[in-house]
A and B are shown apart, each in its own frame.
Chain A
Amino acid sequence: MTPTPRRWGRRHVLHSGAAALGGIGAGWTAAAAALPDTDPAPPTGGTATGTSGEAAPPLGGRTVSFHGPRQSGVATPPQSHLALLGLDLAPGVGREGLTRLMRLLSDDAARLTRGLPALADTEPELAGRPASLTVTFGFGPRVMREVLAGRPGQVEDLPDFATDELDEAWGQTDVAVQICADDPLTVTHARRMILKDSRAYARMRWVQDGYRYAQGTVPDGTTMRNVMGQVDGTSNPVEADPDFDALTWSSEAGFTGGTFMVVRRIRSEMETWDKVDRAGREAAVGRRLDTGAPLTGTSEDDVPDLEAVDADGLPVIDPASHVALARSTDPGQRIVRRGYNYTVPDASQPTGEDSGLVFVCFAADVAAQFVPVQRRLAQSDRLNEWVTTIGSAIYAVPPGAAEGEFVGEGLLT
């Protein structure tokens, strides 16, 4: 079996070389296909300190003021993590009980958002990293109608939409508490304190956890992607826009600085979505998957040209695509979207999990800004084939509280 040096040398060098090259060839091709795309745009900005070599301070110390004429968590750039609590007031809890509850919860929120333990906080160390924590409160239609009858900020139930398949488990509640922060442990602690202090007055019906990109994963201001891979949230109104205030904040006397929050739990039908190729996915949305650019443009911020036709005269962007129906020529039909992805175990699904979007949006006038858009989408959005709304709720979000006040004080007292 021992080969002569000459034969061993030539043949084995050649064969070893062939094997090595073959391995490299196969490996290279597989890697080129499997490795993530290199992002042409290197991450920019982000560090709080301008000096090179100096580490940025941890995000945990950042705070967003709880107090002010408007509640935080609405115009606040979305943090990475969400816990949205849906609470029902206990039987017999009226204006007095709700007042006590809001006083307690506002005090918790005021402390926790500063990085201070709540009163009787049993895990005070968990309060020390506020990580841009915001806590935002809303009252459902029943509370406004029965407990706060005659007060400003009244809110109607959302109408039925044809494509909804609502599960009461994710339905309308009396109170919503939106907790957001850039650290999940911070969210968890705030959530526990709020639920503990609610116990005497309310029962938790649901919690909708959600997530976006973690801080630092993408440059600040990057539009998030949803679990279907789409860039989700393009052309969202931002605080710097001249019409942001009018779109977002109520000017009703006694409710000035308040707003309204729509919560929709939208399941992504990933099993059937998996069967759609890129062309089909892009046609359904009217945008490219890679850049989020409209099919008539090259960058995410390009305005979709809904009139554009191809050489045969056929529309480039399908008039029934999501982008074509979601956009309106009426600039008043816009909302501040602040949604989060969700993924939860679900034994009824083939993969054992359910994922989608906790759609959260804010508008000064839901009936004028949100409902007409949602009606159009429910009627003919191509994307309806792969998304199903399973939860729906609406809340009046009272104006913010000044230092020493509690949220809803103007309505309750």
Chain B
Amino acid sequence: MRVGARNLVRGLAALALVLLGLGVGGGTPAFAHASLVGSTPEQGAVLDALPGEVVFEFSDDMDATAYVVVTGPDGASATVGDPEVRGTEVRQRLAPGTAALEGTYVMAVKAVSVDGHPVTGRVEFAVGRPSDAGSPEPSESSSPASEPVSAAGRNGSSAAPGAEIGGRPLWVWLVGPGCLLAALGLWWTGRRVSS
């Protein structure tokens, strides 16, 4: 009986942890996201001159309609024409860099994989030298930023009063784990009492 009760409690606790670990709250199946896997120039690269084009490399073939913005140190667009999509690559021509400004350039892309998954990405590189000491941030390492397209919109909305996850107030999500923690505490206490 003692063993049975203890196993029951352990089982419940384990089950609860498994459920939490499975992300029951999120309700999100595992999606096969397309992602940005590389770029030319690479994140953080310092070049002698502005290249004639920039290239984003994705993990999947991309739909022909994509959007690229390349912004120079002065905030002006450095692109010429529309981006060209070839398989997993999105290429964008840049304005002839005869008198290219020195400093940090930002190249950003918004594209959709052929099976409909949107990807956005942002890569910083510099011509001559970075615009200032604080940028690009070293913490960004070499892996380019890549996130679902509407993440910005969602972040914007979650800043609204009363933070929510999955359309519910945060406290709703905290009750379950709180109960579980209390349960574990009780079980631990019970174990000590019994031994």
Category for how many chain B residues contact A: 35 or more
Please determine whether A312 and B106 come into contact, CB atoms closer than 8 angstroms. yes
Please determine whether A14 and B65 come into contact, CB atoms closer than 8 angstroms. no
Closest chain A CB from B120 CB (angstroms): 7
Query: Which residues on the B side are within 8 Å of A309 (C-beta)?
Result: 69
Query: Which residues on the B side are within 8 Å of A21 (C-beta)?
Result: 179-180, 182-183, 186
Query: Which residues on the A side are within 8 Å of B5 (C-beta)?
Result: 11-12, 15-16, 19
Task: Look across to chain B and name the residue whose beta carbon is closest to the beta carbon of A386.
Answer: B116
Please determine whether A37 and B24 come into contact, CB atoms closer than 8 angstroms. no
Please determine whether A15 and B9 come into contact, CB atoms closer than 8 angstroms. yes
Query: Which residues on the A side are within 8 Å of B96 (C-beta)?
Result: none
A1 at the interface (CB under 8 A from B): yes
CA distance in complex: A27, B54 (Å): 51
Binary contact readout B67-81 vs A (1 if CB under 8 angstroms, 0 otherwise): 101010000010000
CA distance in complex: A313, B77 (Å): 9
Task: Look across to chain A and name the residue whose beta carbon is closest to the beta carbon of B106.
Answer: A312
Q: Which of B45-53, B133-141, B170-178 lies at the interface with chain A? A: B170-178
Please determine whether A22 and B180 come into contact, CB atoms closer than 8 angstroms. yes
CA distance in complex: A277, B27 (Å): 11
Interface of A is mostly: helix
CA distance in complex: A24, B153 (Å): 34
A320 at the interface (CB under 8 A from B): yes
Please determine whether B67 and A314 come into contact, CB atoms closer than 8 angstroms. yes
Known: A22-B13, A22-B187. 5 other contacts (CB 8 A): A1-B1, A28-B175, A29-B173, A33-B166, A314-B69
Instruction: Sort A-B residue pairs by CB-CB distance and give the 7 closest, nearest first.
Output: A25-B179, A29-B176, A14-B190, A312-B108, A279-B148, A22-B183, A18-B186
* Contact surface of B with A, Cβ cutoff 8 Å: 1-2, 5-6, 8-9, 12-13, 15-16, 19-20, 24-28, 31-33, 63, 65, 67, 69, 71, 77, 106, 108-110, 112, 115-118, 120, 122, 148-154, 157, 166-168, 172-173, 175-180, 182-187, 189-190, 193-194
